[in-house]
């Protein structure tokens, strides 16, 4: 049959492992992201486990959340960990100055956060306060979480109900140091990084990977400066440099574009802006390869996702937005980019897990809906810790609108932990179905089967009144005379296993 795009998967060569933490999440004290969205408190009528909502946590378990970053974001650089320990009714109430100026009663603190990640079976990524904290406060937080003996801080942790140390897999020294984290230069921040990191000590078998706060968008100076100037020795290390990039449909912060009801021009510009992620990673990798050819330092995209204009009637500081088929396409395009760079990109965190920006889940009191982005994560679960396989694309048709043009098809393949070959495909063209001819030299494939996410409208989305308007359906294709060809509907995401 006629095929627009030819895809070949080379199953004889394997690339880097796709770290499961590429599918990491981010939960900040922001809007209804934690309070209401995840945490309702043990006294709530909404069914919960020690305060964490059972419905939301259950849904998150189904997408295998591997890692959660907490407590921010901008919030992290004004967070003082001692406010969040001890009896909840005695914790101080603060103002959340970054996000809407609302009261922060510190009901969720260190112990509650670790309860959540332990329920989820996820790893913990704690973001330390560099902006308004001290090296002492940061060092003591790490000691509080990880100390084993009878130190005052370990005893305080025990008094607060936790005997065993918490497992802290990742710890970041500040967030967006170039902006809300203190408006610093890379030079100034790098000196502070070295200063703070000197004092971060934990038992060797529970020492977190340390993350430096890096750049954003096209700026590579942070990755360059940090990898050139942090000189690891016995007490100092830097396991990764972070990076942030958000997809704004218009590319402009004052008028970003709407989450739903947008014109096709904004479908297109959203694709164009999303695909820039690839260049940003490529350029950062270039500067890192120069200073760190052995690839010891990771490049963690610990904030990414769509950022739209806030909906009318919503608190502008809460960053609540709807989530449509377009968001699922954005997620899948990013996953395919991250897989391609799995040699450096060992972690990414979509912003954010619940009720904030490009969320997996939206809640309204006791109700919950799963977004198209949630389903993209679910479909891509087999890629967690899979081994990437080289994919070549030929004769890729272009999707064009006005002066813009992007490849219609994006693809990624890997060998899953179960030994099967998985293929993820995106057809970004909202108007035209595409046919893909799939070849796996040396492999006799009888077909493919998996899931398809698509809809008639570009902005198809779930609502509390209609929670199942868009969700994946099963998808399969059979080889005919030894040839495999896949029909991809317009604006679709497909993940299949080769059989």
By the 10 Å C-beta count (0-12 exposed, 13-18 middle, 19+ buried), 499 is classed as middle
Q: C-alpha distances in angstroms, 344 versus 155, 263, 293?
A: 39, 36, 11
Minimum CB separation from ligand AHR for residue 94, in Å? 16
Question: Structure tokens of 370?
Answer: 């799963």
Nearest residue to ligand AHR, scored by beta-carbon proximity: 73
Is 303 tagged catalytic?
A: yes
Minimum CB separation from ligand AHR for residue 427, in Å? 29
Nearer to ligand AHR, 248 or 488 (CB): 248
Minimum CB separation from ligand AHR for residue 363, in Å? 18
What angle, rounded to 10 degrees, do the helices at 325-340 and 264-291 form? 20
Question: Structure tokens of 102?
Answer: 């609302």
Is 176 tagged catalytic?
A: yes
Answer yes or no: are the C-beta atoms of 196 and 135 closer than 8 Å.
yes
Minimum CB separation from ligand AHR for residue 216, in Å? 8
CA gap 459, 453 in Å, rounded = 13
Question: Structure tokens of 150?
Answer: 């009878």
Angle at 182 between CA 180 and CA 188, to 5 degrees: 140
Residue count of the chain: 499
**Going by DSSP bridges, is the β-strand pair 348-351/298-306 parallel, antiparallel, or unpaired?**
parallel
Q: Which one of the listed residues 28, 36, 104, 176 is annotated catalytic? A: 176
Nearer to ligand AHR, 24 or 72 (CB): 72
Residue numbers of the site for ligand AHR (CB under 6 A)? 28, 72-74, 175-176, 303, 351-352, 357
Nearer to ligand AHR, 71 or 472 (CB): 71
DSSP assignment, residue 347?
-
Minimum CB separation from ligand AHR for residue 277, in Å? 16
Query: If you compute the radius of gyration of the chain from its CA atoms, what whole number of angstroms results?
Result: 23
Q: Which one of the listed residues 104, 143, 303, 434 is annotated catalytic? A: 303
Nearer to ligand AHR, 74 or 301 (CB): 74
Minimum CB separation from ligand AHR for residue 245, in Å? 10
Nearer to ligand AHR, 133 or 472 (CB): 133
Question: Structure tokens of 321?
Answer: 């937005």
Instruction: List residues bridging with 367 in a β-sheet.
Output: 364
Nearer to ligand AHR, 320 or 399 (CB): 320
Indicate which residues carry an active-site annotation.
176, 303
């Amino acid at each position: 049959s006629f095929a627009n795009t030819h895809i070949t998967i080379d199953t004889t060569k394997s690339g880097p492992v796709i770290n499961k933490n590429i599918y990491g999440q981010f939960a900040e004290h922001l809007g209804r992201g934690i309070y209401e969205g995840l945490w309702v408190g043990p006294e709530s009528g909404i069914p919960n486990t020690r305060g964490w909502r059972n419905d939301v946590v259950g849904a998150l378990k189904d997408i295998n959340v591997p890692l959660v970053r907490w407590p921010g974001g901008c919030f992290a650089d004004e967070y003082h960990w001692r406010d969040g320990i001890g009896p909840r009714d005695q914790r101080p109430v603060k103002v959340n100055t970054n996000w809407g100026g609302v009261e922060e009663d510190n009901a969720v603190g260190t112990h509650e956060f670790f309860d959540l990640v332990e329920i989820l079976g996820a790893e913990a990524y704690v973001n330390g306060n560099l902006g308004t904290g001290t090296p002492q406060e940061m060092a003591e937080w790490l000691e509080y979480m990880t100390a084993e003996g009878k130190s005052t801080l370990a005893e305080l942790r025990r008094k607060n109900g936790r005997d065993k140390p918490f497992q802290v897999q990742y710890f970041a020294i500040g967030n967006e140091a170039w902006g809300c984290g203190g408006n610093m230069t890379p030079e100034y921040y790098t000196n502070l990084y070295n200063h703070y990191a000197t004092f971060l000590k934990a038992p060797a078998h529970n020492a977190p990977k340390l993350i430096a706060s890096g750049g954003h968008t096209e700026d590579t100076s942070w990755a360059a400066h940090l990898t050139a100037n942090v000189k690891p020795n016995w007490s100092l290390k830097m396991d990764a440099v972070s990076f942030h990039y958000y997809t704004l449909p218009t590319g402009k912060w004052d008028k970003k574009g709407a989450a739903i009801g947008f014109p096709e021009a904004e479908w297109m510009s959203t694709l164009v802006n999303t695909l820039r992620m690839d260049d940003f990673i490529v350029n950062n990798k270039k500067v890192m390869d120069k200073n760190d050819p052995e690839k010891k330092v990771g490049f963690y995209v610990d904030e990414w996702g769509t950022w739209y204009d806030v909906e009318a009637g919503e608190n502008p500081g809460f960053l609540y937005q709807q989530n449509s088929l377009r968001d699922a396409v954005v997620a899948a395009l990013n996953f395919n980019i991250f897989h391609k760079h799995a040699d450096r990109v060992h972690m990414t965190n979509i912003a954010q897990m619940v009720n904030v920006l490009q969320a997996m889940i939206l809640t309204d009191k006791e109700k919950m809906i799963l977004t198209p982005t949630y389903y993209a994560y679910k479909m891509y679960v087999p890629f967690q810790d899979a081994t990437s396989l080289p994919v070549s694309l030929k004769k890729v048709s272009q999707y064009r609108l006005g002066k813009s043009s992007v490849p219609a098809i994006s693809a990624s393949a890997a060998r899953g932990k179960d030994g099967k070959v998985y293929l993820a495909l995106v057809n970004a063209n909202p108007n035209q179905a595409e046919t893909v001819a799939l070849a796996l030299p040396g492999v006799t494939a009888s077909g493919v089967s998996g899931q398809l996410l698509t809809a008639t409208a570009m902005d198809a989305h779930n609502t509390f009144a209609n929670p199942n308007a868009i969700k994946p359906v099963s998808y399969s294709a059979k080889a005919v005379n030894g040839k495999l060809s896949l029909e991809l509907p317009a604006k679709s995401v497909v993940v299949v296993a080769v059989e």
